[in-house]
Structure 1
Amino acid sequence: MKSEVIVHKDRKVIKKTKNSGEISYSLKGAYLGIDEMTGKQVTTTITARTLKELERNLIASKLNFEKNGCTKKERVQIDSFEDLTELWFKSFQTWVTSENTLNRVRGYLDTYIIPQFGDFKPDKIIASDIQLWVNRLATNAKSSVATGKKRSNKGKAKDFGATVHKLSDIFDFGITNFGLKDNPARTVKIPPKPKSNKERVKVLHDEDLTKWLKYLESLPETRGNRRFKIICDSLLCSALRINELLALTISDLDFENHELRVSKTLLWKAANKKLGIKGKVICKSTPKTDAGFRSVPVPLNILQDLKAFHDEMNLYFEKLSLDKSKLIFPTIYGHYMCDRNERTTLKKRLVEAGLPDYGFHIFRHTHASIMLNAGANWKELQVRMGHKSITTTMDAYAELAPKKKNEAVAIYLDKIAELSA
């Protein structure tokens, strides 16, 4: 290759001629302008196959520099509110570690915010647009609550206030990062959250619990039924949350102290259709709250049943030449087990037993009821339940000790009789 310096329009240009005869031109140090962000001169190298093309490329580079705001610093262009929302959520993911929170907020975006404002230009959305939208959400939520359904239909949830707060966060993000002038969501008045009739805590009292235990014993002897029975029995005696139980490994069984060690929980990581990511179960290396770190005393036979099922699954893996698992309740592929399928089975079997179709939390509530009726104090129950505050325990389970309520009347009558004698 041959290189030579030529002068073209008072500029030094490098002319390169390949052995094949092909020619190219390079203009080094081409001046584009002053960077508005740094105050420094910006230069670049322009290449072309002809001198005329070199001139056109130089002009195009200068125009692109001006179009980018006269800076070489990277600037993200947003054309719609959906673009701004997605950039905000990408940033939000770096601030929040809870998958449950991320899933909930993603639901706000996909169900409410993007369908309503996604196509708008961010600076064209005004407060009255948002206020009318919020009022409509409140009306929908109120009508949904009036039906008495346990779960709201899509788009009619009661937490519309949280959705508006997230909308406001997105506008603030736009002000900080993309030069938006104001946040129209700040002046919006959020209507009161509709109140539904407070349901009593779901629990199996003595008669129903007896019926359930007999039903469990009647199930055919299969591996699936053994797993189901061990899960139910373990939840009932420990008050663990279902995903705390499914996260247990063999090292969490403490045979010396007859305890289950709780230090983690399973979560559902939602799918992302845009990125082609499927939803999956993941293990969070901490429990739901700091107070969730605990060791829960349980009967020895429960520990033995858990270990026996762990051994049974590893024997299954060994026969199929698969890697052994540390999990107590792995799938047949050795992965974390999703509680959804087992929850469906539970509801079906509760109905078969003539009981209300509650979820796995029924065993947690029932455990609390048994403890309180047996005379356990609130602090002891708080620790077993893994609650951060004893107020949470008392607010949730104050209604679960009907025997104790009756005892209160008897104590009063005995005292009055003593004083009247």
Structure 2
Amino acid sequence: MQKEIIIHNNRKVTKTTKKNGAISYTQRGVYIGIDVKTGKKITSSITAKTLRSLDRKIIQARFDFEAKGSTLKETLNISNFEELAEAWFTSFVTWVSSQNTINRVRGYLDTYIIPKFGDYKPEEIKSADIQIWVNKLAQQSKKSVESGAKKSKKGHAKDFGAVVYKLSDIFDYGITNFELANNPARAVKIPPKPKANKERIMVLHEDELAAWLTYLNSLPNTRANRRFRVICDTLLASALRINELLALTIQDLDFEANEILVNKTLMWKAGNKKLGIKGTMVCKNSAKTDSGNRRVAVPKQILEDLQAFHNEMSCYFEKHNLPTVDLIFPTIYGNYMCDRNERATLKKRLTELGLPNYGFHLFRHTHASLMLNAGANWKELQIRMGHKSIKTTMDTYAELAPKKKAEAVEIYLREIAKLTD
């Protein structure tokens, strides 16, 4: 291979002759233009087989640079609203720390936003399109609530307002990153949330609770039923949230103080069907809130039942030559347990008994009702429930203590009687 420098149109060009006689011409440091994002001069090396072809390639390189926006910086292009929404969501995941929030917003995209606007060009979506759509969502939600359904159909829930706010966030992202001209979602008026006609009873009162406890004790003595019984009994005695309970390890049981240490919770990390990623349970090494990190006093029998079930699972793992785990409620593979199957079992059994079937949170509410009726003060209850504010405790549970309501009337009558004697 032989190289020599020649002058072509007052420019230095490297002529390369290969052993087989093939010739090429290379000009280095060819000025392409000014990068509009950095303000720097852009140069390039261009090679061609002939000098005439070299001149054409130099001109074409300058045209191509202008056509790409006169920048070498990476620029994302979108062809429809789905691509814009996915680009926004990729950034959104880095902005928030709550996996539950990520799961909820992913649901908004998959259930509402992408099915409706995914194929649209973002700049062609008008405020009227969104207004008609959200009005329809509100109507569907209202019908669902008025029907008395305990769980709305997919896409018929009351969170349509939150969906529109996220839609607006996506348009704002498009304005910032993709030079969209406007945000049509800002002009949309969100209809009010529909209100249920009847109050939902989310507590087991005395007769109902007695029936439930009797039923629990009558279940056949299988491992699945033993686990179910320990879960229900512990939730009732401690007011833990179900995913706080399923995150417990044997080290979280304090037998000296008869307390359960609550300092973590499980959450569902949604998968991605497009990428072939399955959802999974993950452990967040902190409770739902800072005040959720707490120690909850429980009867000693509860701790003994939890320890007994942990020992039972450890024996299972040893019998099958599997590594033991510290979790009290592991799967048979030693992983974190999802409450989905247990929740389905609970609702089925509550329904069969004619009891309210609002999932495991029913026991948390029932615990609060029992405590209030027995005379516990609000501050004590706030700490047990793990609420940040006592206002949250009072707003949530003020209606769950019918005995206290009756006591208020009796106190009033006694005081009036003193004045009229």
Q: Normalising by structure 1, what TM-score? A: 0.93
Q: What residue in structure 1 maps to residue 284 of structure 2?
A: 284
Pair 1:97-2:97 in alignment: yes
Q: Indicate the larger mover: 251-260 or 199-208.
A: 199-208
Q: What residue in structure 1 maps to residue 347 of structure 2?
A: 347
Q: What residue in structure 2 maps to residue 380 of structure 1?
A: 380
Residue aligned with 2:274, SS: coil
What letter matches 1:337 in structure 2?
Answer: M
Gaps of 5+ in 1: none
Q: Distance in 1 between matches of 2:86 and 2:387?
A: 35
**CA-to-aligned-CA distance 1:87-111 (integer Å, 9 cap, x gap):** 1111111111111111111122222
Residue aligned with 2:376, SS: coil
What letter matches 1:83 in structure 2?
Answer: E
Q: What residue in structure 1 maps to residue 187 of structure 2?
A: 187
Residue aligned with 2:108, SS: helix
What letter matches 1:112 in structure 2?
Answer: Y
Q: What residue in structure 2 maps to residue 127 of structure 1?
A: 127
Q: Distance in 1 between matches of 2:240 and 2:211?
A: 22
Q: Distance in 2 between matches of 1:26 and 1:391?
A: 76
Q: What residue in structure 2 maps to residue 247 of structure 1?
A: 247
The 5-angstrom pairing of residues 21-420 of structure 1 reads 25-47=25-47, 57-420=57-420
Contact 1:252–1:260 (CA under 8 A) maintained in structure 2: yes
Residue aligned with 2:133, SS: helix
Contact 2:108–2:163 (CA under 8 A) maintained in structure 1: yes
Q: Indicate the larger mover: 201-210 or 369-378.
A: 201-210
Contact 2:24–2:48 (CA under 8 A) maintained in structure 1: yes
Contact 2:146–2:197 (CA under 8 A) maintained in structure 1: no
Contact 2:201–2:356 (CA under 8 A) maintained in structure 1: no
Contact 1:80–1:119 (CA under 8 A) maintained in structure 2: yes
Q: Normalising by structure 2, what TM-score? A: 0.93
Contact 1:331–1:337 (CA under 8 A) maintained in structure 2: yes
Residue aligned with 2:192, SS: coil
Contact 1:201–1:399 (CA under 8 A) maintained in structure 2: no
Gaps of 5+ in 2: none
CA drift at 1:56:
5.7
Contact 1:99–1:268 (CA under 8 A) maintained in structure 2: yes
CA drift at 1:254:
1.4
CA drift at 1:83:
1.7
Contact 1:32–1:65 (CA under 8 A) maintained in structure 2: yes
Change (3 A) 1:51 1:346: farther
Q: Distance in 2 between matches of 1:251 and 1:161?
A: 43
Q: Distance in 1 between matches of 2:14 and 2:220?
A: 86
Q: Distance in 2 between matches of 1:383 and 1:131?
A: 44
**CA-to-aligned-CA distance 1:108-147 (integer Å, 9 cap, x gap):** 2222222222222222222222222222222222222222
Contact 1:260–1:295 (CA under 8 A) maintained in structure 2: yes
